[in-house]
Structure 1
């Protein structure tokens, strides 16, 4: 698991190479504000090889945050993360590793009959009750999350994960009421609290695509205040002091700024609703911004509005997009895909520039 001495020691290796606030506090230590994502790419050996080299390059050049999930690239992403950790030579205690569970993962490639695979691998094996499934592919029941955490640790060859996310819980809203999904989350958090107490994870979070950036009337909306209350209740039930909900992952970039602009979360009767980023800022939750360069779209010249681009530091559109995401309140890190070494070098270099200050960031939206 990442430690204070390990992550601070990692930071100190780079001296003044990076700009202001490139390393930020998370967990017991610090984490780079550019994180290595592992979502995109085909489930092939060739893509594995590119990721392995790119991740090792990131780890040795100033990125000590790796984000993955049990279902990414048919389960290959976690395996490659583990291989890159070992091959990079970087101390495990210096690296913050995050993974997720929620979508039923395949094992190396996409099966010819996915429904049969799910039935035989998960339902018949007793890992998933069909009643807990949404769209035949999503589950956040305690027994499933427990098994997936073990699978993640085995796949990466590590003893513990630093942050484990419940992945896209809004998927369950397709088949059940919102209060029932909050109940599911509380049960999931109880499981993760027990695993945290056992030393298998350092913290947990919720990773979403729509839930936290859409208005309350949207079918996919989940309220962060309600989610936080369920984490507090879970910690009390398990009997641990203080909950382990520390992170929220959501899309945030210059074209998908809803997490900053949409007031969708209950901040109490006096203040009324606030944005996801404002809520997390108030509650001390770390935000990890996914899609920070719009899955590559914002890396093209002209993709960032000219008036916004002019305020952002960076030599390339991708660097400016990353520095926009890194500038937002409550954002601890901007996640970006790292499937190629050349992209890693460009993305890491974004951290040599300073992010926008709070006033400058706010002025973008005026």
Structure 2
């Protein structure tokens, strides 16, 4: 697991090479604000080898926040993350490792008949109840228990530092919002027990739409209610009334800046007041914010992809660096994820952190 001393030691070893606020508070210490994502890539041995090398290089170059999920690349990404951490010349305790559960994963490759595979692998053995499924998604406690155990096994780790409930808004396709909040509370109780057992350091909610869309939209979830359900789970599990909900994850780019621009969340201490943005809510609640798709899955790495007026305000030698630095500059953002299997792109991405992010006023000005 990541420890305070090791994380601060990593910061002391690499901090002078990077710009202002490159290392930011996360978990028991600090971690890099450029994170290593593992979502993209075919489930092949060749991609495994390339991803393993870029992850190792990133960890050894100043990026010590690694993000994956049980279903990424048919389960291969978790295995590769574990291998890269073991191969890197960096102490495991100096690396923040996050993974996710919620989607039923394949095992190494895509089956010819996915429906038959899911039925034989998950439904017939009773790993998941069909009543809890929306498509290939469930956040039922039994599946999350299974998924966490599977993740620890694939990673080869005794503990993950942050475990996300993956895209809970998927459940809204078949369930009421109140039923989804109830399911989240049950999921959080499971993760509270695993936190008490030492299997996870903290937990979070990773989303695509839930915290970006307008209040009341079909795939909307209230952060106030999510936080309240975590507090209830913490109180129910004990031994104290604290809880382990520590982070949210959502996409954030110059073209998907809703978490900053849209006022769609109600603060716990002012439920009848004006809504605030997700980033402001997270800041007020002390939640870390991790951004996904920070370079638009590569689209923002092209010349001209960032609007010229915004691009001119951002620091960085390349469009990809400036796109990353836009995401890292948003108030309240803890880490911006970017994935690659190309060593040159990895070096380019990590080097984005050598440039200072925009200050709050300068970031606000990009929307004028």
Q: TM-score range by the shorter chain?
A: over 0.9
Offset, 1:217 = 2.6
SS of equivalent to 2:337: strand
Instruction: State the alpha-carbon separation in 1 of the partners of residues 169 and 107 from structure 2.
Output: 24
The equivalent of 1:34 in structure 2 is 34
Match runs of 1:72-221 below 5 Å: 72-135=72-135, 137-221=136-220
Q: Given the alignment of the two structures, is residue 278 of structure 1 paired with residue 290 of structure 2, yes or no?
A: no
Instruction: State the alpha-carbon separation in 2 of the partners of residues 223 and 24 from structure 1.
Output: 26
Offset, 1:269 = 3.7
Q: Given the alignment of the two structures, is residue 289 of structure 1 paired with residue 274 of structure 2, yes or no?
A: no
Instruction: State the alpha-carbon separation in 2 of the partners of residues 16 and 316 from structure 1.
Output: 22
SS of equivalent to 2:161: strand
The equivalent of 2:361 in structure 1 is 359
Offset, 1:181 = 0.1
Q: Which of 342, 353, 362 is the matching residue for 2:344?
A: 342
The equivalent of 1:302 in structure 2 is 304
Offset, 1:89 = 2.4
Instruction: State the alpha-carbon separation in 2 of the partners of residues 66 and 147 from structure 1.
Output: 22
Gaps of at least 5 residues in structure 1 are none
Q: Which of 315, 327, 330 is the matching residue for 1:328?
A: 330
Offset, 1:120 = 1.1
Instruction: State the alpha-carbon separation in 1 of the partners of residues 36 and 355 from structure 2.
Output: 18
Offset, 1:270 = 5.3
Instruction: State the alpha-carbon separation in 2 of the partners of residues 276 and 32 from structure 1.
Output: 22
Instruction: State the alpha-carbon separation in 2 of the partners of residues 352 and 333 from structure 1.
Output: 14
Distance 1:200 1:269, change over 3 A: closer
The equivalent of 1:58 in structure 2 is 58
The equivalent of 1:316 in structure 2 is 318
Superposed CA deviations along residues 257-302 of structure 1, whole A, max 9, x for unmatched, are 0111111111224532111111101111000000110000000000
Instruction: State the alpha-carbon separation in 1 of the partners of residues 295 and 239 from structure 2.
Output: 38
4+ residue runs over 3 A deviation: none
Instruction: State the alpha-carbon separation in 2 of the partners of residues 195 and 340 from structure 1.
Output: 36
Instruction: State the alpha-carbon separation in 1 of the partners of residues 144 and 271 from structure 2.
Output: 35
**CA contact 2:54–2:340 (8 Å) conserved in 1:** yes
Offset, 1:11 = 1.0
Offset, 1:331 = 0.5
SS of equivalent to 1:98: strand
SS of equivalent to 1:202: coil
Superposed CA deviations along residues 234-259 of structure 1, whole A, max 9, x for unmatched, are 00110133110000000001110011
Offset, 1:212 = 0.4
Gaps of at least 5 residues in structure 2 are none
Instruction: State the alpha-carbon separation in 2 of the partners of residues 248 and 44 from structure 1.
Output: 30
Aligned residues: 365
Q: Given the alignment of the two structures, is residue 244 of structure 1 paired with residue 244 of structure 2, yes or no?
A: yes
Offset, 1:15 = 4.3
Instruction: State the alpha-carbon separation in 2 of the partners of residues 329 and 270 from structure 1.
Output: 24
Offset, 1:202 = 0.3
Instruction: State the alpha-carbon separation in 1 of the partners of residues 18 and 71 from structure 2.
Output: 33
**CA contact 2:43–2:73 (8 Å) conserved in 1:** yes
